[in-house]
A = this chain, B = another copy of it.
């Protein structure tokens, strides 16, 4: 592989996964990013958290998010290119994933609005009744960049891992609709015209079994705001996505699916996010490597460009190899999702295999993104810690990727659970063709499953890490072929 390929997300994708019908879409987007988008993204990050105008001067609550106009152009570029509508037109998530990769190379945070919009459209299309779909789906799927946006709001103040205990938002039926009351603490894409929201119908049991999923528009039927944004959160990065605390107060909402299967719908939503997060993580890592490369090719020390220093050159080679593996893992998980995303309960074996892959990919790629962003800063030396050069941005972005949609700790345990319940490691072993280099780990997992629950959890990390790493390597070899 020529190093030059590292500087282009579309070229790297094509190099690894081959040509697709979306090549020209990707190339056009990439051209836009180079010419316009990059500078916009830099400016949005420099401007830090956007302002929110809560009231207009007449005293009416408006919750207007004050981004520079450029931001909206940047956002619309991806919608227009098809990150949302193509999934429905082509009945495939792959164009979305490809565009998310491309976007994330330039602005990791911007992939979030795309992903949560997709994660809103999918359950609406799958579980919404006819009237609901007719009313809302076309707004999301406009092809001219004027589409509505979606959002997925689950987490409340007590934490996002244990939704069964921590979702305190209550839903009360009100004729054909429901009324939701509660506070959502990490509400990405606050301000979206539609959101899918986890809530507990009044009287439903505690725990995850009592959760339901609702569609919640930004405006009530009356035109009034249907939710308010208490504040936008000052995050260290992903400033291209407004993350807020959202207050629901008798907010109008529509049930998706049935009240007792909400947790499955929620998990389906998270599936999409985890894959998007994995793909975005790899793209971010590619970007960090590309920036390190640009620097190493022009910085001179001890009489030669530092890219020619043997130790650094070796680090580059290893990173690039790991990058290929990471993409293979994320893309492999994405392709599996593309096979199963239309499934409903009862799920197939393939679905459980996918879940395992999704956890491994989310875990492994985010970790790789963080370590690569850190290394990129180190390659830049002192310049790496100056805000002026923005190299430090990739680490900030990567840390959010590592935490959003569940930390490494959570992914590892969820992967263990699907192995325990569905023996998904065996399915994975089969799926990748029973390669020799995985055998030892798969056997070790079998042995591990004999331990007590406490021990299984405590000692799982090295095995889980091995499984992720080796799977990535195996998939990469297949890609290479």
Contact = CB atoms under 8 A, between A and B. Distances in A.
Interface string A175-189: 000000000011000
Of the candidates A298, A407, A460, the one having the most CB atoms from chain B within 10 angstroms of its own CB is A407
B378 A402 contact: yes
Interface string A155-180: 10111111001100000000000000
Interface string A286-324: 000000001100111111000001111111000000000
A374 B392 CA distance: 14
Contacts of A399: 374, 377, 384-385, 392, 395
Contacts of A408: 378
A409 interface: yes
A442 interface: no
Of the candidates A315, A380, A399, the one having the most CB atoms from chain B within 10 angstroms of its own CB is A399
Contacts of A314: 458-459, 461
B159 A301 contact: yes
A70 interface: yes
Nearest to A314: B458
How many copies of the shown chain assemble into the complex?
A: 4
A385 B409 contact: no
A230 interface: yes
A454 interface: yes
Contact of A157 (B42, B59, B295): B59
A449 to B, nearest CB: 15
A209 interface: no
B57 A299 contact: yes
A412 interface: yes
Interface stretch (A45-53, A331-339, A342-350, A470-478): A45-53
11 contacts: A39-B69, A43-B69, A46-B47, A47-B68, A58-B299, A59-B158, A70-B70, A186-B382, A233-B388, A385-B399, A392-B399
